[in-house]
């Protein structure tokens, strides 16, 4: 493991390790926070899209890769309207990144010592059953 990887692993172990006098944060708390933020993100996006007469279903998948801005990955009958809404929407992009960071912390902590592919992208899917968040290795091409 590289020195940088060891430093991250060490920091995460201190942050989520065995609680010493209640000082460590439980991973379950971060996971719960990530899920709450994902749900709130879904509410905000659904409200904004509804104001543009964009419907779910069909589901939409928002993705952000390291070199790409937030974009729509999935096909949707109102794709152009969704892309226009995303363009320059700093509020949604910022909130997406906040949710992504929480899920990154959970993923890194659950997989201590694992090195993830550089082309691993974070997705938020908005479905009629609720939101989902996941990572997927892929090539991201700007829209």
pLDDT at 109: 80
Q: How far apart are CA 134 and CA 142, in angstroms?
A: 19
Residues of the chain falling short of pLDDT 50: 1-5, 18-21, 142-143
pTM: 0.77
Picking from 88, 120, 102, the residue whose alpha carbon sits closest to that of residue 34 is: 102
Convert the pLDDT of each residue in 69-86 to its tens digit: 888 988 899 999 999 999
């Amino acid at each position: 493991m590289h020195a940088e990887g060891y430093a991250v692993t060490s920091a995460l172990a201190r942050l989520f390790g065995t609680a010493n006098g209640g000082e460590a944060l439980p991973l379950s708390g971060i996971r719960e926070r990530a899920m709450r933020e994902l749900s709130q993100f879904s509410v905000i996006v659904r409200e904004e899209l509804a104001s543009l007469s964009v419907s779910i279903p069909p589901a939409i998948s928002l993705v952000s890769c390291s070199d790409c801005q937030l974009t729509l990955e999935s096909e949707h009958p109102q794709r152009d309207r969704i892309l226009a809404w995303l363009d320059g929407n700093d509020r949604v992009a910022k909130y997406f990144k906040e949710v992504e960071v929480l899920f990154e912390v959970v993923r890194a902590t659950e997989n201590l010592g694992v090195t993830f592919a550089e082309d691993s992208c974070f997705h938020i899917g908005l479905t009629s059953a609720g939101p989902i968040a996941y990572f997927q290795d892929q090539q991201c091409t700007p829209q």
